[in-house]
């Protein structure tokens, strides 16, 4: 098929290394048919799915089963993060590179993350085993101490200053410091997810500068929303980690643009409207976002840096949503860069179109977006995965999807010299 690119930018297919597609067990919130369509419409061709399903993915052998369950529904290619519980640490010894890019550790918790590792002895053991096996850890490192204080059950802030004083500014400082200490002790590669505060960002930057194998992620929603939005959007932007102040948002943008952030993620973690309508104290944290990831990043960049050329903005988008995650998670061989050939992954991005997002544009199963009413700049018009058109939105009245045939990707080493070196150790 020949596609007229007519003034659009050729971007490498996006890689979203942080989605919760909720299979098995939570498919009323999201499933692979809907999640992967949302991805395709947002220019994303590869996702890495989180393990906090019911049951959670903690048995390495079940990865293959999960892959065969979901691949027939998936428009995009995929890999998994393996989960770990206090009772399943020894499973990491059998984990093979094909089964997971990495292991997800929840250091703190909420409704949808039942397997929280609070015991410092267990945490130490996980870091030790991961280091021995060359496994990269990805961590939800939010401070328990601030958890209740951050809770939206408190009187809603009436303004920016009230929010600042009601919300302590440590975020994940304590948990991140623990991670850094464990990395120093064991040499484990650690990637901290959804960093939300300027303090954490500074701390992690310093650790990386000191030569520790520490990297971090920032989400599109922490770059898009800040305290004042919580009054308007309420439970829709009830998230873990919580949305923070304008100042934090600004510092996260600085970190993203200067190259300190290894990858952007959506943390696509949908909950139904009904669940979100519960009393705020019971509304589960999380929002859909895989479709909005690239668009919100680009829109934010245009607003924040009006003098930046389109070329430069596109280079940043490609780095943050394709090259960065491909390098980090060992997808570099076939993903993350524009490859010429029949198996290319790319999206044709119209950088000039402006449009207002409405619920009818969203493909996540829950059918809502925290970005409803936003004027977006830019949109993926056509998305191609391994040479097949999976999204064609050139006629906004009649967008078309391709056929679901996403594949479970083969592994490349997540950590050079580590994980793959163990490839032959067990059958």
Separation CA 114–CA 57 (nearest Å): 12
> Please, what is the minimum distance in Å from the beta carbon of residue 196 to Zn ion?
10
> Please, what is the minimum distance in Å from the beta carbon of residue 296 to ligand DOR?
16
Choose from Zn ion, ligand DOR, none: what does 17 bind? Cβ within 5-8 Å by kind.
none
Q: Are 76 and 383 in contact (CB under 8 A)?
A: no
Which 8-state DSSP code applies to residue 405? -
Choose from Zn ion, ligand DOR, none: what does 52 bind? Cβ within 5-8 Å by kind.
ligand DOR
| By the rule CB under 6 A, 265 interacts with ligand DOR | no
Closer to ligand DOR by Cβ: residue 114 or 413: 114
Separation CA 219–CA 235 (nearest Å): 18
Q: Are 157 and 231 in contact (CB under 8 A)?
A: yes
| By the rule CB under 5 A, 334 interacts with Zn ion | no
At 9 the three-state DSSP class reads strand
| By the rule CB under 5 A, 143 interacts with Zn ion | no
In a 13 Å sphere around the CA of 83, the CA atoms on its Cβ side amount to 23
**From 143, 267, 345, 381, the catalytic residue:** 267
Which residues within the stretch 220-279 sit at the binding site for Zn ion (CB under 5 A)?
Answer: 267
Taking CA atoms, 280 is separated from 150, 154, 404, in Å, by 13, 10, 37
| By the rule CB under 6 A, 140 interacts with ligand DOR | yes
In a 13 Å sphere around the CA of 333, the CA atoms on its Cβ side amount to 7
Separation CA 328–CA 219 (nearest Å): 16
| By the rule CB under 6 A, 285 interacts with ligand DOR | yes
> Please, what is the minimum distance in Å from the beta carbon of residue 21 to ligand DOR?
10
| By the rule CB under 6 A, 293 interacts with ligand DOR | no
With contacts defined by CB under 6 A, how many residues of the chain interact with ligand DOR?
Answer: 11
Closer to ligand DOR by Cβ: residue 269 or 411: 269
> Please, what is the minimum distance in Å from the beta carbon of residue 411 to Zn ion?
22
Choose from Zn ion, ligand DOR, none: what does 103 bind? Cβ within 5-8 Å by kind.
none
Residue 204 CB neighbours (<10 A): 28
Residue 350: phi, psi to the nearest 5?
-90, 110
Strand order, beta sheet including 77-83: 14-19, 44-49, 77-83, 102-106, 137-140, 190-192, 214-219, 263-265
Choose from ligand DOR, Zn ion, none: what does 12 bind? Cβ within 5-8 Å by kind.
none
Task: Pick one of 140, 221, 249, 335: the residue that binds Zn ion (CB under 5 A).
Answer: 140
Say whether 267 is catalytic: yes
The residues that are catalytic are: 267
Please report, as ranges, the residues that interact with ligand DOR according to CB under 6 A. 20, 52, 112-113, 140, 239-240, 269, 284-286
Please report, as ranges, the residues that interact with Zn ion according to CB under 5 A. 140, 267
């Amino acid at each position: 098929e020949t596609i007229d690119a007519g003034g659009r930018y050729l971007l490498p297919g996006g890689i979203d290394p942080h989605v919760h597609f909720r299979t098995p067990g939570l498919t009323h919130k999201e499933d692979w048919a809907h999640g992967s369509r949302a991805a395709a419409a947002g220019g994303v061709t590869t996702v890495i799915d989180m393990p906090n399903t019911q049951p959670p993915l903690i048995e390495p052998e079940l990865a293959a089963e999960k892959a065969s369950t979901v691949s027939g529904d998936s428009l995009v290619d995929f890999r998994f993060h393996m989960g770990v519980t206090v009772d399943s640490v020894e499973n990491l010894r059998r984990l093979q590179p094909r089964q997971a890019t990495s292991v997800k550790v929840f250091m703190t918790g909420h409704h949808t993350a039942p397997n929280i590792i609070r015991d410092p002895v267990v945490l130490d053991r996980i870091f030790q085993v991961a280091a021995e096996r060359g496994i990269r850890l990805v961590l939800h490192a939010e401070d328990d101490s601030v958890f209740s204080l951050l809770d939206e059950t408190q009187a809603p802030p009436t303004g920016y200053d009230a929010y600042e004083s009601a919300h302590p500014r440590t975020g994940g400082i304590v948990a991140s410091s623990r991670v850094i200490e464990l990395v120093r002790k064991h040499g484990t590669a650690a990637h901290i997810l959804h960093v939300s505060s300027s303090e954490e960002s500074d701390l992690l930057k310093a650790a990386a500068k000191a030569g520790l194998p520490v990297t971090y992620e920032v989400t599109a929603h922490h770059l898009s929303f800040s305290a004042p939005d919580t009054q308007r959007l309420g439970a829709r932007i009830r998230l873990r980690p919580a949305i923070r102040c304008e100042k934090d948002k600004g510092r996260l943008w600085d970190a993203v643009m200067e190259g300190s952030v290894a990858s952007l993620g959506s943390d696509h973690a949908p909950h139904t409207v009904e669940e979100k309508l519960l009393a705020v104290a019971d509304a589960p944290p999380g929002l859909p976002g895989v479709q909005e990831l690239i668009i919100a990043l680009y829109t934010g960049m245009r607003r924040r840096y009006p003098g930046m050329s389109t070329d430069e903005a596109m280079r940043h988008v490609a780095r943050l949503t394709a090259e960065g995650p491909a390098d980090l998670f060992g997808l570099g061989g076939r993903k993350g860069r524009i490859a010429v050939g029949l198996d290319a992954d790319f999206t044709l991005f119209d950088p000039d179109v402006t449009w207002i997002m409405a619920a009818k544009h969203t493909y996540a199963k829950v059918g809502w977006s925290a970005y409803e009413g936003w004027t977006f700049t830019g949109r993926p018009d056509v998305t191609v995965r391994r040479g097949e058109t999976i999204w064609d939105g050139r006629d906004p009245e009649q967008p078309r999807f391709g056929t679901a045939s996403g594949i479970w990707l083969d592994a490349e080493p997540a950590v050079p010299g580590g994980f793959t070196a163990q490839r032959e150790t067990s059958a």
